[in-house]
Amino acid sequence: MLPFSSADGTFTDFLTALFTATTSVCVTGLVVVDTFAHWSFFGQLIILILVQMGGLGMIAMASMLMLITHKKFSLGDRLLLQDSFNLSSGTKLLKFLTRVIKGTFIAEGIGAVLYSTVFIPQFGFLKGLWISIFNAVSAFCNAGMDVIGPRSLMDYRSNPIVMSVTMFLIVLGGLGFVVWFDTLHTIKDGIHKRFNPIIMVKRLSEHSKLVISFTLILIFGGALFIFITEYNNPGTIGELSLGGKLVNSLFESITFRTAGFATIPQENLSISSCFIAYVFMFIGGSPVGTAGGVKTVTIFLLFMNVRTYVSQEKERVIFNRRVSDDSMRKASAVVFVSLSATLLLTILLSIFNPVPMEDALYEVVSACGTVGLSRGLTASLNSAGRIIIIISMFLGRTGPISMIAFFSRNRSSNNRINYSEGIFYVG
């Protein structure tokens, strides 16, 4: 809110500052004022710090400060860190945290250097370097915010460096740190032992194989769908060359899943593309990464549960590994609670801001999935609408089911009573 955070040196109202802080730390990207125009360099720096904190996670950032200041980790600190990364008890937590921090800064640094080859010649050294750093952090953390101009990346949709670097950083951040380290270890070990690529793939963990394969299906399946539905749409990719249509379809498929950068106006998308956007934004990225959404593994387990019931199989098996009943129940609960929260918040937004339902749903799904794409609705929201989106972004980052579990943890009966089985007719 402070005057030196705004470009014109005046105070920013509380709700705008709260909205900006929330969208930054929740790595969403929805904004009610232009990031490049409203905020001074200091204000943009605060936003970037919040984005970095939100991308890595609060627990990870606090733990990093403890490492830097040589503070000792108590058992409670280790359990909290383990839970925040959703890791098993056998993982070497501090080593994992160190690798996460190093890997993050290396990826963002490489991205900034590559961006600078485009932005420094265009904007000059200092501004070009700042834009490169900001974009690299924002892309890797799947925040989707930029300080280039009002058109996001629309002016760069034919630039191979900007497009490829952005897509690479988004996917890398969305895959998850566990998949990173497992893949790197497998490749390093495979090269040392002279394994062929097929054996290397087989030696990946079941989680990594599931995440990578499902992510590739979503990316290229979504790109094909967008390419077909938007092929003749002059408001999106209709006037581009064939190569431009393919690249921007791929970019849109990637950015739908929690990134928030735009190379085409979202309000010009067809209803069919909006539908695939709802699905992709709701799914989001993968566990233990910078992306939001209910996560790829969660959705896959939900579909697998249905398939197992229909085929009357006794166990759910993926890559010759059985999925626990607890994981299946958690996946169902996460999807149900997240979907319920999304629908409720969409209804509330429609009540307080009379707008077309597809725009309201797009806004709320984008906020809950921490995506940051909008059909031009965000800046026109009234105070009630902004509060609803703030709640949506907060729930999207923390997870609705986490909030429910937090407030109901002391009410659990711990299943101390066993009841006789009843007969219920389902379906």
Mean pLDDT of 377-386: 92
Cβ neighbours of residue 17 closer than 8 Å, sequence gap 6 or more? 1
Q: What percent of the chain has pLDDT over 70?
A: 91
Q: What pLDDT is recorded for position 423?
A: 77
Position 174 pLDDT exceeds 70: yes
Q: What pLDDT is recorded for position 229?
A: 95
Q: Report the C-alpha gap between 4 and 355 in whole angstroms.
A: 35
What pLDDT band is residue 120 in, cutting at 50, 70 and 90? very high
Alpha carbon 16 to chain centroid distance?
Answer: 23
Asked if residue 113 lies in contact with residue 164, where contact means CB atoms within 8 angstroms, the answer is: no
Position 84 pLDDT exceeds 90: no
Q: What pLDDT is recorded for position 248?
A: 95
pLDDT digits (tens, 9 = 90+) for 390-425: 999 998 888 766 655 555 555 545 556 777 877 777
Phi and psi of 78, rounded to 5°? -65, -40
Q: Tell me which amino acid residue 161 is.
A: I
Position 244 pLDDT exceeds 80: yes
Token readout for 377 is: 């609705």
Tokens 């004022």 label which residue?
A: 33
Q: DSSP string spanning 51-99?
A: HHHHHH-HHHHHHHHHHHTTPPPPHHHHHHHHHHTT--TTS-HHHHHHH
- Residue 203 CB-density burial (10 A; 0-12 exposed, 13-18 middle, 19+ buried): middle
**More confident of the two residues 57 and 219:** 219
Position 321 pLDDT exceeds 80: yes
Mean pLDDT of 119-142: 95
Q: Report the C-alpha gap between 44 and 371 in whole angstroms.
A: 19
Q: What pLDDT is recorded for position 101?
A: 86
Q: What percent of the chain has pLDDT over 90?
A: 55
Average pLDDT, the chain: 87
> How many CB atoms within 10 Å of residue 235?
13
DSSP reduced 3-state for 408:
helix
For 191-202, letters b (16+ CB in 10 Å) and e give eeeebeeeebbe
What pLDDT band is residue 322 in, cutting at 50, 70 and 90? confident
DSSP reduced 3-state for 317:
strand
Mean pLDDT of 211-235: 94
Asked if residue 137 lies in contact with residue 51, where contact means CB atoms within 8 angstroms, the answer is: yes
- Residue 306 CB-density burial (10 A; 0-12 exposed, 13-18 middle, 19+ buried): exposed
The 3 state secondary structure assigned to 182-206 is: HHHHHHHHHHHHCCCHHHHHHCCCH
Mean pLDDT of 15-29: 94
The pTM of the full predicted model, rounded to 2 decimals, is 0.87
Asked if residue 63 lies in contact with residue 91, where contact means CB atoms within 8 angstroms, the answer is: no
For 45-67, letters b (16+ CB in 10 Å) and e give ebbbebbbbbbbbebbbbbbebe
Q: What pLDDT is recorded for position 147?
A: 92
Cβ neighbours of residue 384 closer than 8 Å, sequence gap 6 or more? 352, 353
Residue 257, phi-psi category: left (phi > 0), alpha (psi -120 to 50), beta (remainder): beta
What pLDDT band is residue 140 in, cutting at 50, 70 and 90? very high
Mean pLDDT of 23-48: 94
Q: Report the C-alpha gap between 3 and 106 in whole angstroms.
A: 34
Position 153 pLDDT exceeds 60: yes
pLDDT digits (tens, 9 = 90+) for 87-102: 665 556 777 788 888 8
pLDDT digits (tens, 9 = 90+) for 249-287: 999 999 998 888 999 999 999 999 999 999 999 998 888
